Structure 1
Amino acid sequence: MKKILLYGLSLVSLFSCSEFIEEENLSFVNADEYYRTASGYNALVNANYAQLKEIYGNDAYVFEAGTDLCAVGSGRGTEPEGLSRYTQLNPSSDGGIQELYASCYKAIQTANMAIHYSTITEQNSDVAKLVGEVKYLRANAYFLLVQTFGGVGIVTEYFTSPQLSFDRNSAQEVYNLIINDLTDALNNVGTGTFNGHVNKRAVQHLLAKVYLTRAYESFGSATDFATAASYADDAIAGQGLTIPFATLWAPPTGNEIINAETLFSVQYSPASASTSPTQLGHKQANWYSSYLGGPEVATSAGWRSYNLLPTQFALSLYTQEDQRFRATFMVEVLWRYYGHFDGNNPTGKTRHYYAPQWATPADITSYIASHPGVQVHQWGTYGAGVVSSDYQTIPTKKFDDPKAPYATNAKVSTRDIILSRLGETYLIAAEAYLNTNPTVGLQRLNAVRARAGITTPLTTYDIDTVLDERARELFGEYHRWFDLKRTNKLVERASLHNYLINAANFNGANGVLKILRPIPQSAIDLNKNKNFPQNPAYL
């Protein structure tokens, strides 16, 4: 077993991991006794699910910044330049790189702990299933790490104290571990609809994505695309895309796991966040709109973020018949921003209208006549890069949470963060079949488009077609940087469609492009093994 720095244990002060450490260090004797009971072991497994909130609940930059779809507003907002522009990307960069590295290793250590106790806890028929769930969660953490950094240190042992000497495994070895964990999970987790716990369909979806991603690597197997397609179809399980897209993203009255197309999510609830409503939620709603607030009218909006705004390219991908445009973006801003969701718009007025690219001059004239006092934003004037003041960019409403309390740059939303859903499973299948059976791939792709209201099916497609469709379907859902990196399209698409990025921004040391992100310098500095290599673009 290779040794690894247990990042979540060793960098408490640097990465604010005190709550996790306190829980484990208050009394190892009492914890040991507790985890040997059935109730204690269930609590330990629940702690593994809670680690997802650390990975996904903070800033969204590591998932979406520096892509073809999102950019900071011109002259407004701040983003970590290393992630949004690549020019300042280096081993000491912050903006989420160190946080992702640390939170994933905390999740891995928590999983290793649960796996360790599974053999010595009170045995019952649920233990094998719970271990399967934990192995899925460990695989998910390693998958994020290997996509982001390449090879990383593998640890499968549970340590009760920091280990300060560690080696770096190859990306191929990390993928092998991920696949082994997910295969074990598939053989043990429960079946049926998603109820908050990992089930077989969630595992099949992630296995499909892992094999799809590995297929592009130099060490990938010749059968990876076919295997990815097979697992995607297993996860689809004959279920059609029958829920209207707008319904998928309408703010819920209850927990979003009731959505029949959700395969796996990070779960939140207002009740669980009630003791600290601006710290126990998450930030997904924060970064995609020019507005975030409570009951304020549109003319006196609350906190406005000018980050991760839709690029002009992102907006241009939609056609008039595509229902996802209005379901994703707030084409009309009412006097009360949240009036769209709760029907409370006292004046009955519309304050802003963002004319879509298919709106004719006659259409706009007619709209103004029926909406006195509305401010019209002409097509081509409200994407990231060409706006600088309030409401000059179109808000993204997809993740809006009308129940969220107003607080500046805080973790206020308690909507679930959807990690896997059926629409993406279809798109994974389409991408995999592109390389094995394009006829079947077109069926999967056209099923996604048909649900969106597009009546003319595609008759041919390529990887750019898939990426465009993923953009329309999955805007903002924490996939885009990984999509572009996986398909070797990151440099091409980011430099072509993001006004902040030139292709030269990716030039790193040693003639290597900044595709992988740098291993955090703090981790390398703490490592007593000085032969641990940094990614070559950052040497």
Structure 2
Amino acid sequence: MKGKNKIIIGCLLAAVSFGNYSCEDFLEEKPQSFLSPENYYQDERDLFAALIGVYESLGDNSQTFLARRLHYLTWFTSGEALSPNLSNQQLLTNYTYTADHSDINSVWTSMYATINKANTVIGRAAEVPMDENLKQQYVAEARFLRALSYFYGVRLWGALPLVTEEVTAIDEVNVARSPISDIYNLIIEDLEFASGLVPATNQQGRAIKGAVKGLLAKVYLTRASSEAAGSNDYQLCADLCKEVIEMPEHHLMPDYQQVFGPSNEFNPESLFEWQGDRNLAPVGEHSPLGAFTMPRGIKMFEEQGPSDGGSIVSTVEYFNLYQEQDYRRESTFVTEGTTFDGEYLTWQQFVNPYPAPCLKYVDRTATSRNGFEWGGNFIVLRLADLYLMRAEALNEINGPTSEAYAMINAIRERTRNRDGDSTSAFPADVSGLDKAAFRDTILRERAVELGFEGHRWFDLVRTGRLVETIKSIDSDYPVSEKHRLFPIPPDELILNEKLTQNTGW
């Protein structure tokens, strides 16, 4: 599985950047300087700084990977979102994008940048004189981040060049795509290694045991419907989900709205978050998703209401998956509001007349109208996802068992409890379904529970529902089975002569 690839050399041969870091808030400060890897790895502090660089690369400079571009690739192509005024993203919505789309290239490049930084930590740790247990923890965290990156990659592109060593020279260039079975094997090896070495809690944005095991459960669930499926994947997923659900460090938050927002970071339901510090100048590690998803010209939470709001809106079809009585609808969307001139409007009367899917990303306590100043994280994985994954896996094994019903009904019970002060009879518990109907119910429940959290496109692809879902939104969209994978960026095909394009592209 060893290889090196010049597809990423241009942005990676510069040494990993480092600076001064505190263990109290490990992403608070930005790396400040560039040093040669050959000269830098001298002690524990150096290796820790390199590890921070891996975390940072998940969303560098507000434009890449988890900071923005991955959401563009998956929100607009899943039928969740559209953009009235971002022309490049409109191509994703209507499935007229081509292989040279900038968001595709950005995610590919960011993914391999993270992988290479992780490989550097993994490969150079052995030479660093420091406490061995702590060293192994740092390596485990790097392997978790490498696994996360490859897991995104294998779902977005399928077979990939498998790079498992630090890229150091431009003459080590051409690497063919490895089968997806090899990619999954590396992901699983990395996560199994990490699961025994990361702590159970108290990492404040770094990998913890629940995150590692939860991600591994999602890997097995996804692999189960792929060409690389293992005979026991659904059972492995179900068992891992149960293990995390029963961890004392984690539980569902009693109020759905307590899961999200800056004041709720690293809550017991959260398993792994990308840390977005939106207060760093000039752009820092912020994500503009909150500002972009607010309704333009509507007064919200004190004086918020940025002029660039409404760039990302919900499709009406996706919004309609949420029934009016569902607490998750009012916790996700802004559907009415008052302008700064005092005029009351429904969403059909907004400047961009669509529901505004901003409530998971705005800071409700902020007084500034500058959405780029809000501090807040993106939740990559949370416990509610594992409840629904366990329900799905159990259904695939034996149909809708009592335990499968218990998992989905726990999520629905939390929704009925609303904010704890007021309760609802909706949604009712699920019962009396056959295997196919339960499968459909789980997919819909995932859509409304995990809306705009980066799961919908992956769910539609792995369940074989992508084409029919997009066609139901607009039958004229030229979506086809080739869109189950994104195209390899053309520049990468030029740089690496062993790369081949995905079918249909």
TM-score normalised by structure 1 residue count: 0.79
Report if the CA contact (8 A) 2:488-2:501 is conserved.
Answer: yes
Structure 2: distance between partners of 1:20 and 1:293? 43
Matched, 1:395 2:395: no
Matched, 1:304 2:309: yes
Question: Which residue number in structure 2 is paired with residue 147 of structure 1?
Answer: 155
**Range with bigger deviation, 288-297 or 137-146:** 288-297
Question: Which residue number in structure 1 is paired with residue 217 of structure 2?
Answer: 208
The one-letter code matched in structure 2 to 1:456 is: A
Structure 1: distance between partners of 2:144 and 2:286? 23
Larger Rg: 1
2:262 pairs, out of 252, 270, 282, with 252
Superposed counterparts of 1:95-174, under 5 Å: 96-124=103-131, 125-162=133-170, 163-174=172-183
Computed over aligned residues only, the root mean square deviation of the Cα atoms, in angstroms, reads: 3.0
CA-to-aligned-CA distance 1:402-449 (integer Å, 9 cap, x gap): 549666xx9654301111111111111122112014212221111111
Matched, 1:443 2:406: yes
1:72 pairs, out of 62, 83, 89, with 83
Superposed counterparts of 1:68-467, under 5 Å: 68-73=79-84, 76-87=85-96, 89-94=97-102, 96-124=103-131, 125-162=133-170, 163-192=172-201, 195-237=204-246, 240-249=251-260, 251-253=261-263, 256-257=265-266, 259-270=267-278, 273-276=279-282, 278-291=283-296, 302-307=307-312, 309-335=313-339, 351=343, 374-376=344-346, 382=348, 390=351, 392-396=353-357, 397-401=359-363, 403=366, 413-437=374-398, 438-439=400-401, 440-453=403-416, 454=426, 456-459=428-431, 460=433, 461-467=437-443
How far residue 7 of structure 1 moved from its aligned partner, in angstroms, is 3.5
Could you tell me which runs of 5 or more consecutive residues in structure 1 were left unpaired when the two chains were aligned: 337-346, 352-373
Question: Which residue number in structure 2 is paired with residue 36 of structure 1?
Answer: 42
How far residue 121 of structure 1 moved from its aligned partner, in angstroms, is 0.5
Question: Which residue number in structure 2 is paired with residue 344 of structure 1?
Answer: none
Structure 1: distance between partners of 2:351 and 2:90? 22
Structure 1: distance between partners of 2:493 and 2:298? 41
CA-to-aligned-CA distance 1:251-297 (integer Å, 9 cap, x gap): 434x712x121111011335xx3332x34311222443333899899
TM-score normalised by structure 2 residue count: 0.84
How far residue 19 of structure 1 moved from its aligned partner, in angstroms, is 9.2
How far residue 321 of structure 1 moved from its aligned partner, in angstroms, is 3.4
Report if the CA contact (8 A) 2:252-2:384 is conserved.
Answer: yes
How far residue 132 of structure 1 moved from its aligned partner, in angstroms, is 0.8
Report if the CA contact (8 A) 1:146-1:171 is conserved.
Answer: yes
Question: Which residue number in structure 1 is paired with residue 58 of structure 2?
Answer: 52
1:478 pairs, out of 445, 454, 468, with 454
Question: Which residue number in structure 1 is paired with residue 28 of structure 2?
Answer: none
Report if the CA contact (8 A) 2:298-2:337 is conserved.
Answer: no
Structure 2: distance between partners of 1:81 and 1:242? 36
How far residue 237 of structure 1 moved from its aligned partner, in angstroms, is 1.6
Question: Which residue number in structure 2 is paired with residue 9 of structure 1?
Answer: 9
Matched, 1:61 2:72: yes
Report if the CA contact (8 A) 1:324-1:473 is conserved.
Answer: yes
Report if the CA contact (8 A) 1:288-1:395 is conserved.
Answer: yes
**Range with bigger deviation, 143-152 or 48-57:** 48-57
How far residue 85 of structure 1 moved from its aligned partner, in angstroms, is 2.0
The one-letter code matched in structure 2 to 1:207 is: L
Distance 1:68 1:157, change over 3 A: same
Distance 1:300 1:137, change over 3 A: closer
1:506 pairs, out of 457, 476, 479, with 479
Report if the CA contact (8 A) 1:264-1:418 is conserved.
Answer: yes
Distance 1:106 1:297, change over 3 A: same
The one-letter code matched in structure 1 to 2:430 is: L
Distance 1:450 1:117, change over 3 A: same
How far residue 469 of structure 1 moved from its aligned partner, in angstroms, is 0.8
SS of residue in 1 equivalent to 2:337? strand
Identity of aligned residues (%): 26
Could you tell me which runs of 5 or more consecutive residues in structure 2 were left unpaired when the two chains were aligned: 19-30, 417-425
Question: Which residue number in structure 2 is paired with residue 363 of structure 1?
Answer: none
Report if the CA contact (8 A) 1:241-1:422 is conserved.
Answer: yes
The one-letter code matched in structure 2 to 1:252 is: P
Structure 1: distance between partners of 2:184 and 2:205? 26
The one-letter code matched in structure 1 to 2:405 is: L
The one-letter code matched in structure 2 to 1:61 is: Y
How far residue 299 of structure 1 moved from its aligned partner, in angstroms, is 12
The one-letter code matched in structure 1 to 2:500 is: P
Structure 1: distance between partners of 2:504 and 2:460? 18
Structure 2: distance between partners of 1:165 and 1:524? 10
CA-to-aligned-CA distance 1:33-70 (integer Å, 9 cap, x gap): 43220111111111111111132112321121122322
Aligned length: 467
SS of residue in 2 equivalent to 1:484? helix
How far residue 103 of structure 1 moved from its aligned partner, in angstroms, is 0.4
Matched, 1:535 2:497: no
Structure 2: distance between partners of 1:207 and 1:219? 15
The one-letter code matched in structure 1 to 2:230 is: S
SS of residue in 2 equivalent to 1:265? strand
How far residue 313 of structure 1 moved from its aligned partner, in angstroms, is 2.3
Report if the CA contact (8 A) 1:7-1:106 is conserved.
Answer: no
**Range with bigger deviation, 286-295 or 201-210:** 286-295
The one-letter code matched in structure 2 to 1:67 is: S
1:525 pairs, out of 481, 494, 502, with 494
The one-letter code matched in structure 2 to 1:241 is: L
**Range with bigger deviation, 477-486 or 315-324:** 315-324
Question: Which residue number in structure 2 is paired with residue 368 of structure 1?
Answer: none
